[in-house]
Amino acid sequence: MEPIKSFSLSKEYLESLREGIDNQKIDFIQESLEGANVADIAAILDELNMEEALYVLRLLSAEIAADILIELEEDSLLRVIREMEPSELAAFIEHMDSDDAVDILILMSFKEREEVISYLTEKEKSANILDLLRYDEDSAGGLMAKEFIKANQNWNVVQTIEEIRRQAERVEKIFSIYVVDNKQHLLGRVSLKKIILAASDTKIMDIYEPDIVSVPTHADGEEVAEIMRKYDLESIPVVNAKNRLVGRITVDDVLDLIREQSEEDIQAMTGISADVEESDSIFKISKARLPWLLIGVIGGLMGAQIIGFFEEGLSKYIALASFIPLVAATGGNVGIQSSSLVVQTLASKSVFDDTPWQRFIKGVSIALVNGVVLGIFVFLVVHFVYGFESIFGVTVGLAMFCVVLLASFMGTVTPLVLDKFGINPAIASGPFITTANDLLGLAVYFGVAMALLKL
């Protein structure tokens, strides 16, 4: 009998698994996946087609399959859940935390979502899911889970331990126990260590820590992430408008949000207008990239028009054309540098940050220094190395100085303006800034040339 191959995250195992699926080798599939990390299994299933992934999931226990569903990439997850019966998906959701269940349900239509929820046997979980579906997915309410452990301030240690045992059945990770009053108002937290070390008749009100950081349900996800980073928290309680404890957010949920938003910002900065991955279809990737590429092409055509407008002057000073790439490239680089720094600052706001006006003054000061240095450097090279007359060197050097100032201004102000109007400032750091600076740079370059060279 052929020995069972153990699981390993590799192309070789993927081929073995596909062969096992084709030949319906149930024992091989189950035993080779036994004990494997769910994230690794999800990575393997992401490479399978829908039928193969669904076949493997159905061979595993509902609890493990539920954990794997949570780890699947969104495209793979959508393919799989669309082929599941509502009752089957509900059986998996029974084993998920409420926030993870909501992450799956929001991918479905309202009718499909309601049908899946109707098959849930645990009424408390149904109520928790329906409650979470009310919140925006990127808010604290949308990120929180309803599964957490709480203790009344009037309980003693024995009562609290019994309640922890009861509540822990539905809570996967216990970071701390939240303390509430009779009206469920959040008062503080108490560590497991304090509970274990305290005498059995000790009241929770005597050992809990009242100084606790919490967030309201309407808080933005980025704000929550920054608070957890600042205070080095593994979890954070969520309260409603009346300061009643309604949920908690754990660090893994925040990490997922940070990763997703970082990917969105990177795509925006590089001129990709939709959420795409390398594994997506050629059409989907092309569709996401084309809008900004078209803007770049239109900008290039407009640049050609600007150059054409100064065609007569170029015929007198052919050498002007030689420095067009230099001016355009420098303007683009300066703009990207300036906007990237502003976007980075906006992404990690602090009460001690400079005001927009102070940022602008600082940006202009940096541009003045860089512009003077680059302008003088270009003048020296053009005049003494290339041997052009001094007035021509002054023209290119002064144009360089002006372009650096203008590009820095655009790169600094544009993200600030977009942020002020609630638009993702990351979009300013890509083709938008580059294209705008190319056009303005050319206009400034030829404007300086007309003034000094009498074109």
For residue range 254-295, list pLDDT tens digits in order: 887 777 777 666 666 555 555 555 556 677 667 766 776 777
The pair of three-digit structure tokens given for residue 216, joined into one six-digit string: 């309201």
Residue 92's pLDDT is 94
Q: What is the pLDDT of residues 100-137, one digit of tens each?
A: 999 999 999 999 999 999 999 988 899 999 999 999 98
Q: What pLDDT digit, counting tens, does each position of 89-101 carry?
A: 999 999 999 999 9
Tokens read off for 27:
């024992």
At the topology level, CATH places domain 150-256 in CBS-domain (3.10.580)
| Per-residue pLDDT tens listing for the chain (455 residues) | 344 556 677 888 899 999 999 999 999 999 999 888 998 999 999 899 989 999 999 999 999 999 999 999 888 899 899 999 999 999 999 999 999 999 999 999 999 999 999 999 988 899 999 999 999 988 999 999 998 999 999 999 999 999 888 887 778 778 789 999 999 999 999 998 899 999 999 999 999 999 899 999 999 988 898 898 888 888 999 999 999 999 999 888 888 777 777 766 666 655 555 555 555 667 766 776 677 677 777 877 887 787 777 777 677 778 888 888 888 888 888 887 887 777 777 766 554 456 767 777 887 888 899 999 999 999 999 888 888 888 989 999 999 999 999 888 888 888 877 777 776 676 656 667 777 778 888 888 888 888 888 76
Res 359: pLDDT: 73
The residues spanned by each domain of the chain are 11-138, 150-256, 282-453
**pLDDT at residue 213, as a whole number:** 93
What kind and span of H or E run contains 453?
helix 431-453
CATH number, domain 11-138: 1.25.60.10
* Superfamily (CATH) of domain 282-453: SLC41 divalent cation transporters, integral membrane domain (1.10.357.20)
Strand runs (DSSP E) across 114-272, as ranges?
150-152, 177-180, 186-190, 215-216, 235-239, 245-250
